[in-house]
Structure 1
Amino acid sequence: MSRPAPLPRRAAPLPRRAAAWPRRAAALAVEVAGAAARRALLLVVLLAVVFAAVEALPGDAATAAAERGESAADLAARRHLLGLDRPLWERFLEWMTALPTGDLGTSAQGRQVTELLADPFPNTLLLGASAFVLTVVLSLALGCWAAARPGRLTDRLIGHAATASFAVPEFVVSVLLLLVLSLWTGWLPAVTVTGADGAPASWAMLIMPVVALVIPQTGWNTRIVRGALADQTATPHVEAAVLDGLPTRQVLLRHALPGAVPAIATGIATSTGMLLGGAVVVETLFNYPGVGTVLAGAVAARDTPLIAGVVICAGAAISLVLLAADLLRARVVGARA
């Protein structure tokens, strides 16, 4: 009598984490796509506001470039040449249609906007990125240092200093740095000299502009780091780590800080816009070859395409940092689930 064929062996069930990975990846992709779409829509609205705001200013690019004694016919001809006699919505739609191809339009000077921003915008990115990295490092160090000594003198001093530094505008910090480090001591150059490539001729010329941006934003983010860590110390797993007698440093870095990452990432990402916005003022004071001077001249000349080009470049950089913060927050939250 033949023996019955053995039943097929059931495959071993996948681990719970491995089985849930495709679902989490799909949810993360949907969240990232939604965040990117919201950022893109916000940029479109911002650009529409820029076009409308420049249109509302007195005069236009034709009158800003007009010479004394120029006739009305010549002014009308220049306005037609610049396309200012067309409706605002038509000019905006034309500019937005060309944007996906990398065409930022033609400035009132007759040059391509991408050509005008080719040198200044990388310099502004260098300034902003340097200030951003230094802000992150100092904020984390000071916030963790204060959180390790809650209620003590160190915690109070760091808190008061952070509040005071954030309350001081960038242009005040810049003036103080110029007085102390340049005029009184002569340690650093007061203005930025560019080299043959259009970048600052020496790294020393970056020190004061970077410090002027870092001081206010470090104060802001130090408060965020300190508050996020304080919230985490009240959670059960951190309290359990304290009751187990773990060292304060280990409790902060291994138990409290990972849970505080979403709040810290959001605060630091928000500082990107403040850094780039403050860079416009700082660049003007230090004669730094960035988009600050370009933007000031474009506003005076009512040069809408050039202003919009600066806004879209800065907005894209800020949106990328915010999107990275969204990804980091989603990953941390997903890892906890």
Structure 2
Amino acid sequence: MTVAPPPGCVLSADGSYGARLAREGDSLFPERWTLDGPEPYAVPLRTGRSEEPGAEVQPLGDGRVLVRRPAGGRHAFSLLYPTGPGTGEVPLGAVVCPDGDTRLRLLPPAPCGRRAYAVTVGPRSTALWLVAGGASGPERVAEIPGRCSGGAWLDRTGRMLCLDRETDGRTKAVVVDLERGGEVSPLLEITEESDDRVLLADPDSGLLLIRSDAPSPGRGRLGWGVLGSTLPVRFPACLRLPDCAVTPFAVQPGQVLTPEGCAVALRVDGPLGSWVGVWRPAQRRLHHLPAPEGWLTGTGLWTADGVLRLPCATP
């Protein structure tokens, strides 16, 4: 029997912690990685139960790990933390999806490190939930017309959230202002007929990694732009690889006012497997690097000094 691998690792916004579902035999359990010390180490967070394959984990900035446990249309949330030889657990409550057509998923870690958000995507609207860090249990903080996907933070405080919203058969990136009651405003529209999505955003430089079919209708291409700039989005030829899918997963922080110099890490999936690509907007070349053994594919973090950290797990 072939056992599917557990999901990859999720890193906290500052890279201090990671969390994943680890496997032991047929059981899954949350595992926290501490990454900001001289030697990275992992701590199992066993709770006496095996997590379901659909569970999600996400580390907070203080080292606690949020776990989402789906059961039908109900999604229960808890915070886990190590307590000597055992695991402490703080139940946070649950979000109930109203019908089988509504899906819930966690958003990328908030940059503040204190809160965690999720969206429930229904047939005609998307609800934004604060599932950790609120006053008491999950709180619905916004209702957004349309079906939303993606998710990228545009600032360091966790106020401005970018989502890709589908309405009338087209997908456009919008900004949700969490301090103005979830007020929605447009962010990216290359043409009226194009599907324009934001894949990654760097709050320091304003660099945006986007995918749009504006240059080639019906076929999404990877491009880049700058938040607030009037310059057009550019679609480098070096990011077009025949028979390969190219997906950005990390942007170098700290490059204030110099988005062209930001290093971008990309996951490249081709017929022979997956590897790492490194590219800067100022360059016209994509550098290909072999993936390290045990890489939790598609996960990584740049330091401000330009070091790319890739979480790996081997026996």
TM value normalised by structure 1: 0.22
Task: Specify which structure has the higher proportion of strand.
Answer: 2
Larger helix fraction of residues? 1
Relative contact order higher in (CA < 8 Å, ≥ 6 apart)? 1
Q: Which has the larger radius of gyration?
A: 1
